[in-house]
Amino acid sequence: LAMNPDGVFLSNGPGDPDAVSGTYTQVEKLIGKVPLFGICLGHQMMCKAAGADMEKLKFGHRGGNQPVMNLRTHRVEITAQNHGFGLVFPTLGKLIPEECDGVAEHVDDLRFWVERGVAPVVRNDKFGRIQLTHVNLNDGTAEGIAFLDVPAFSVQYHPEASPGPTDAHYLFTAFARLMDGREDY
């Protein structure tokens, strides 16, 4: 923060997110102070900083052909992934029914939201509203979130790998907009 950055990009990295507690405690200090964009382990660090739990996936996500639904645009993105842990979405907070098509209870399989065409929003104790933005279509796990009350968002996959090949370019444009102070990311 002393460097006064326009934004902070939290990149990918290896392994168990619980093994790097020093990182997510630092990320917690950044959220709300500077625009943030996290990918892969960076996404996990943002989730942990918000108080969420991570779980070891039964089958890790590997390869350059993972279909992910963007709940905001209703477009399917072909993504590159290489991780064995994922966000337990309900641990971010309680659903806000008014922002979830009236739904008040969490579901285990997040493809429920794909079928409803809704990007659900929870009330997080630390950072306000957080929206589920992306869902893995193979197993119904969380693939992305956006903090609605502070300038921060993240995805579990690797948009820099370009498997789509341009499916995820919009994320880097969104981060640039966020650093410019725009709210239409």
Q: What residues act catalytically?
A: 40, 158, 160
Residue 142 near residue 68, CB atoms below 8 Å: no
**Sign of the C-alpha dihedral, residues 39, 41, 42, 47?**
positive
Residue 114 near residue 71, CB atoms below 8 Å: yes
Q: Which residue in the block uniquely carries the two structure tokens 């326009």?
A: 6
Cα–Cα separations (whole angstroms), residue 100 to 54, 85, 117: 23, 26, 10
DSSP H helical segments within the chain, as ranges?
21-30, 41-49, 111-116, 169-179
Give the span between the Cα atoms of 5 and 3, in whole angstroms. 6
Q: CA triplet 166, 86, 90: central angle to 5 degrees?
A: 110
